[in-house]
Amino acid sequence: MTPPIITPRGMRRRHFMGHLAATALGIPAARFFADLRAHAAAPGRKKPKSCILLWMSGGPSHLDIWDLKPDSERNGGPFKPIATSASGVMISEHMPRTARQMHHLNVIRSLDSKEGNHERGTYLMHTGYVPNPTVVHPGWGSTAAFEIGSRMEDFDLPHCVSINTPGQGAGFLGMSYTPFMVQDPNGTIANLAPPGDVDAYRMDRRLQMLGRVENEFIRQRDAAPARDHKAVYAKTIRMMNSKYKDIFKLDSEPDAVRDLYGRHSFGSGCLLARRLVEQGVTYVEVAMGGWDTHADNFEALSTRLLPDLDQGMAALTADLADRGLLDSTLVVWMGEFGRTPRINQNAGRDHWPRSWSIVMGGAGMASGQVIGATDRDGVDVADRPVGVMDMIATMTKAMGIGMDTQYTTPRGRPMKVVDGGTPIAELVG
Amino acid sequence: MPLHRVEVGARAHRFPGRAALTAGIVAVAAACCIAADGPEAPSPGASRGSADVASFLDPPLRAAWQEAELKPAPPAKDEEFLRRAYLDILGRIPTVAEAREFLAAKGADKRARLVDHLLEHVDYPKNFATVWTNLLLGRGRQERNVDRDALASWLRKQIAANRPWDDVVYDLVTATGSNKENGAVNYTIAHLEGDAVPLTSRSTRLFLGRQLQCVQCHDHPQNDWKQADFWGVNAFYRGLKVEEKRVADAAGLERVDHVELSDVPTGAFARFDRRNGMMGVAFPRFIDGRKVDNPEQALRRVELGKLIVDPESDMLAQATVNRAWAHFMGRGFVNPVDDIGPHNPPVLEEAFEALTEEFRASGHDVKQLIRWITSSAAYQASSVRPAKKEHPEDELFSVMALRPMSPEQLFDSLLTATAAHRPGTGRDDARRESWMRQFLFTFGNDEDDETTSFQGTIPQSLMMMNGDLMRDALSGKPGSFLADALEQARRSRRPAAFMVDQLYMAALSRRPTSAESSSAVRYLESYPDAMPFLQDLFWALLNSNEFILNH
């Protein structure tokens, strides 16, 4: 059988089909999907790895969060650094809760990403590639979902989810690996339940009737689109019927937990992300907006942005650690670029891709470290330059995805997941 | 080869003289009004077009299949042909009445007559205007001040009058004036940001079938295009003047009423960064190397328009033919459809060349092009696979591809099948608009050239299964298709069989097989309350791959 989506050559077809097998369905539906059932179960495997990306849309001011410059008169700004649970690692005074979790995380202070435009930077940081008119690269999260999630059998949830944002597309990996978007983590998923007058009996009848038409059409026209349609429906129906369908509802969480994360969209998004990776979702992106602080940077950070970020990020890190999930979950914090060391006339900072910070930890990587450094004024990388592909390499290695993974684009050209980058040895060596 | 083109306005206009152009537009508008207001045009029959079906296309097609040792699919059944012709030409499936009329029709030329009939239908210009509005503007976020409806309405008029496509393209490239009065202006003003780089790349892709955007930043690795070629075309877009015209609204507040686009002769050139760090400079130069005399005095877009539609060049005809072929077949002779060039050879080269040549000779007659394509052995082939084969998908069009409907096709087809927007009397346009927005948000991905793979998502399936539109479509409210069908069935001799027949015809444009029919009929004859069962059956048909895939 041909895989249901454009095949990146060299992929094992079974992986495409693995996630389609049905479990929690009624008998007619089970019959409907019987031929899609994957072959063998894989017993006793370790929990597959997951990744949660905390995406700071707009470009976060790294110098006021992770790489403070109190000695720089021009560029330092008003914020003070504080000590953290990682010895020798100082971060912003407005991140007190996260400071107590820094022994789980690492700050990379020497990223040079070169793209200072929102759209291009967003693309680059999500894919590892600069935009190229001849191919749409898959987001790295979709790649991870494809490499890890698609090997899971009997899995009811999407492998790639993005919260508060559409996320990066899956490019040629196809819509099956496009992020499933949760527009509002405090709300419900649109159309997840059938209308009230359609009970389980009628839903089964509908699926039975649907199965008959679909199967006959596939029998006569055994082409990929006909099978793909059935596969997406299978996945959708599994989600509707899944015992996890309430996973998207946060009401079942104790008030104390909800308050710990914060009930704002970022905090709730972090909580939902924890719930999803706990069930085995491979990649969850949680976006937080408002970081494009060309004016009144310090006011915005101290009153709005950092309190929410600090609350959600700290609660998430601690909760993952408490539940034993941090060893299998990569947590990454980034935006499309950092912000200028120079403070402009509106007390803002502008776009700065040349020397900025990202944070990552978990998934078995070493922790509590600072990688690289910028100079006294935060302008140039003073130590250990890290490129975007090095970051992708590090994440790829941490997730246990083959460093030589390569796809063939629809136009027949090779695309490596890691193209020329070197994993940061101090973290994943 | 006879010319069937409707002559509207003088073609001479492209070599200066702008009065003729204006006259042309007026004439087109008038012609369109007649077409739209008059009674539905009768099938023009064999008198135009259908006599000279694509006799020149089939020999190269069959030769290629033979050479590749492909056993082509059997000819499509009437039901298959009917559904795909409606979807491709009108952008929606046929109504039950339309389907029954065609299936009952007799005569060897009934398919050609159907195509002629559809080309005169009001939904034909509407559909192609939608397709081209999406191509020209994209489905995504829109620039401020762009009047999408004005462009769509302008296109509708051109297409309804079957203006020669090179004339339409010339007008799109050179359009001036108010974007409200002259909808074509909106194409240019939508893509002016960043030194008109997006306009440069879109124009070369859409009108010349050439992807120059790769050479924006570096010379092409696989063909002869250089960075300077991109910026040479870009330099034609210097000297554009865009003015916002404001008026006071009822509350006395000033707001933008429309945008005026005009050309001002200029000596400006395009500057660009070379890879070696040097600055490059480009004056207007077409991609075949031709330059403009006196670029300081010329209206540069007029010069560009002339070069694009130059009858000596075949780029526009190739681009149009390849895109039209892909519209009807799912893939072009060259793929991606807008990446024609020596680095990317076509399949079925002989057929491609023949069709391009005939299209040029016809005076860029789009309706004639559609007649040729739809009468070819490739378009007439079934989508049913001939036999189990190692590689059932071939690139030579010996089997009709399965093509997912576009969001617009899907939406209009759902309304056609269910009449969900006609509860009670008349249509509920506000409701229709709100569904359409939800639909485009959920289903719309911008400019997806890949039309032969199904790329559905979970939110899309959820919307099809449980969404508002489906809910209303199946509600059985008075005026809806289900309610009407039930009403008609009561007057029928065999109500159950009639109902099942109607549902299959409405959703799938075919009668149920006897197996499909018998179990449903048996159920309906044993239980008095038919509605829930019919709702479930209709739901299943509308959610099926057979419904959503144009086959």
Assigned domain for A308 exists: yes
Q: Distance (Å) from the C-alpha of residue B546 to the closest C-alpha of chain A?
A: 6
Q: How many angstroms away from the CA of B549 is the closest CA of chain A? A: 7
By Cβ distance, the residue of A134, A193, A214 closest to B214 is A134
Q: Find out whether B330 and B404 touch, Cβ atoms under 8 Å.
A: no
Domain count, chain A: 2
Split at pLDDT 50, 70, 90, the class of A102 is: very high
Same domain, A211 and A165: no
Whether pLDDT at A27 is above 50: no
Compute the nearest-CA separation of A409 from chain B (Å).
13
Q: Which residues of A touch B216 (CB under 8 A)?
A: 133
The residues of chain B scoring below 70 in pLDDT are: 1-54, 140-141, 213-214, 216-218, 220-224, 387-394, 422-429, 444-455
Residue A94 has pLDDT above 80, yes or no: yes
Nearest CA-CA partner of B507 in B419, B406, B424: B419
The 10s digit of each residue's pLDDT in B471-489 is 988 988 888 899 889 889 9
Q: Which residues from chain B sit within 8 angstroms of residue A191, using beta carbons? A: 459, 462-463, 465-467
Residue where a domain stops, chosen among A248, A271, A296:
A248
Q: Which residues constitute the domain of residue A17?
A: 10-46+191-248
The chain-wide mean pLDDT, for chain A, equals 87
Task: Find chain A residues with C-beta within 8 A of B460's C-beta.
Answer: 232
Question: Considering A248, A270, A294, which residue would you say is the last residue of a domain?
Answer: A248
Whether residues B404 and A225 touch (CB distance < 8 A) is answered with yes
Is B462's CB within 8 Å of A240's CB?
Answer: yes
A284 and A397 share one domain = yes
Q: For residue A31, is pLDDT > 80?
A: no
Final residue belonging to a domain, choices A202, A229, A248: A248
> Quick one: A274 and A385 in the same domain?
yes
Closest chain A residue to B215, measured at CA: A133
- pLDDT at residue A106 above 80? yes
- Chain A hits for B201, CB-CB cut-off 8 Å, are 133
Q: Which of B516, B537, B549 sits opposite A226 (nearest CB)?
A: B549
pLDDT at residue A136, as a whole number: 83
Contacts of A226 in chain B (CB under 8 A): 402, 454, 545, 549
Based on the fold, state whether residues A285 and A316 are members of the same structural domain. yes
Q: Across the interface, which of B216, B445, B536 has its CB nearest the CB of A209? A: B536
Token pair listed for A5: 């989506």
Question: Are the beta carbons of B465 and A194 separated by less than 8 Å?
Answer: yes
Mean pLDDT of A383-387: 96
Q: How many secondary structure helices (H) and strands (E) does chain A include?
A: 13, 17
Is residue A40 domain-shared with residue A87, that is, in the same domain? no
User: Average pLDDT, stretch A388-415?
Assistant: 92
How does pLDDT run across B368-393, given as a tens digit for each residue?
Answer: 999 999 999 999 999 998 766 555 45
- The number of beta carbons lying within 10 Å of the beta carbon of residue A251 is 7
Quote the ipTM score.
0.84
The C-alpha of A213 sits at a distance from chain B's nearest C-alpha, in angstroms, of: 7
CA distances from A235 to A19, B461, B465 (A): 8, 9, 13
In this structure, are A120 and A197 located in the same domain? Answer: no
Same domain, A212 and A340: no
Of residues B454, B508, B544, nearest to A214 (C-beta): B544
CB pairs under 8 A between A and B: 141
pLDDT at A140: 98
pLDDT at res. B390: 52
State whether B463 and A202 contact (CB < 8 Å). Answer: no
Residue pair B84/B381 in contact by the 8 Å Cβ criterion: no
Bridge partner residues of B231 (DSSP): none
Least confident range from A44-58, A233-247, A253-267: namely A233-247
Instruction: Search chain B and give the residue with CA nearest A183.
Output: B459
Cα end-to-end distance, chain B, whole Å: 31
Q: Does A5 map to a domain?
A: no
Give CA–CA dist B221/B244, Å, rounded: 42
Question: What's the CA dihedral at A309, A311, A316, A318 to 10 degrees?
Answer: 130
Mean pLDDT score, A224-233: 86
Q: Is the pLDDT of residue A416 over 50?
A: yes
Hey, what are A398's tokens?
């941490």
SS3 readout for B11-75: HHHHCCCCHHHHHHHHHHHHHHHHHHHCCCCCCCHHHCCHHHCCCCCHHHHHHHHHHCCCCCCCE
Residues of B in contact with A218 (CB under 8 A): 545
Distance from CA of A191 to the nearest CA of B (A): 5
Name the DSSP letter for residue B9: S
At A151-194, the pLDDT tens digits run 887 788 889 999 998 888 888 887 678 888 898 999 888 888 89
Hey, are the CB atoms on A134 and B551 less than 8 Å from each other? no
For residues A117 and A203, state if they share a domain.
no
The reply to whether A1 falls in a domain is no
Q: In chain A, pLDDT over 90 holds for what percent of residues? A: 68
Cα–Cα distance measured from residue A104 to residue A96, given in angstroms and rounded to the nearest whole number: 15
Pair (A53, A37) in one structural domain: no
Residue numbers in B near A214 (CB within 8 A): 544-546
Question: Do A323 and A376 reside in the same domain of the chain?
Answer: yes
In three-state secondary structure terms, A181 is strand
B214–A209 CB contact, under 8 Å: no
> What local confidence, expressed as pLDDT, does residue B53 receive?
55
Q: Once rounded to an integer, what is the mean pLDDT over residues A246-255?
A: 92
- A230 and A347: one domain? no
Contact A205 B536 (CB under 8 A): yes
A158 vs B216, B458, B545: nearest CB: B458
Give pLDDT, residue A224.
Answer: 82
Q: How far apart are the first and last CA of chain A?
A: 40
Here the CATH number for the domain that contains residue A125 is 3.40.720
Contact A209 B540 (CB under 8 A): yes
A190 and B459 within 8 Å at the Cβ level: the answer is: yes
Contact A232 B548 (CB under 8 A): no
β-pair type (A180-182, A386-387): unpaired
Decide if B383 and A221 are in contact by the 8 Å CB cutoff: yes
What confidence score (pLDDT) does residue B38 get?
A: 36
Sequence-ordered strand ranges (E) for B199-239: none
Instruction: Give me the residue from B402, B532, B541 closest to A213, CB to CB.
Output: B541
Classify the C-alpha dihedral A237-A241-A244-A247 as positive or negative: positive
Residue of A nearest to B465 (CA): A194
- CB contact (8 A) between residue A229 and residue B456: yes
Task: Give yes or no: residues A93 and A233 share one domain.
Answer: no
| pLDDT score for B220 | 67
Residue B127, φ and ψ in degrees, nearest 5: -65, -50
Cα distances from B469 to residues A175, B415, B421, B432, in angstroms, run 23, 9, 9, 9
Q: Say which range, A261-265, A285-289, A379-383, B45-49, has the weakest mean pLDDT.
A: B45-49
Contact call for B453 and A192, based on CB within 8 A: no
Question: Are the Cβ atoms of B457 and A221 closer than 8 angstroms?
Answer: no
Structure-token pair, residue A37: 């059932």
**What is d(CA B353, CA B325) in angstroms, rounded to the nearest whole number?**
12
Chain-centroid distance of CA B272 in Å reads 35
CA quadruple A288, A289, A295, A300: dihedral sign: negative
pLDDT at B476: 84
Q: Is residue A317 part of a domain?
A: yes
Q: Do B545 and A226 touch (CB under 8 A)?
A: yes
Query: What is residue B521's predicted lDDT score, i.e. its pLDDT?
Result: 92
- On whether residue A223 sits in a domain, the answer given is yes
Examine residue A366 and state whether it is found in any structural domain, yes or no. Answer: yes
In a domain, A59, yes or no: yes
Is A206 close to B536, i.e. CB distance below 8 A? Answer: yes
Closest CA to B545 of B396, B410, B435, B368: B410
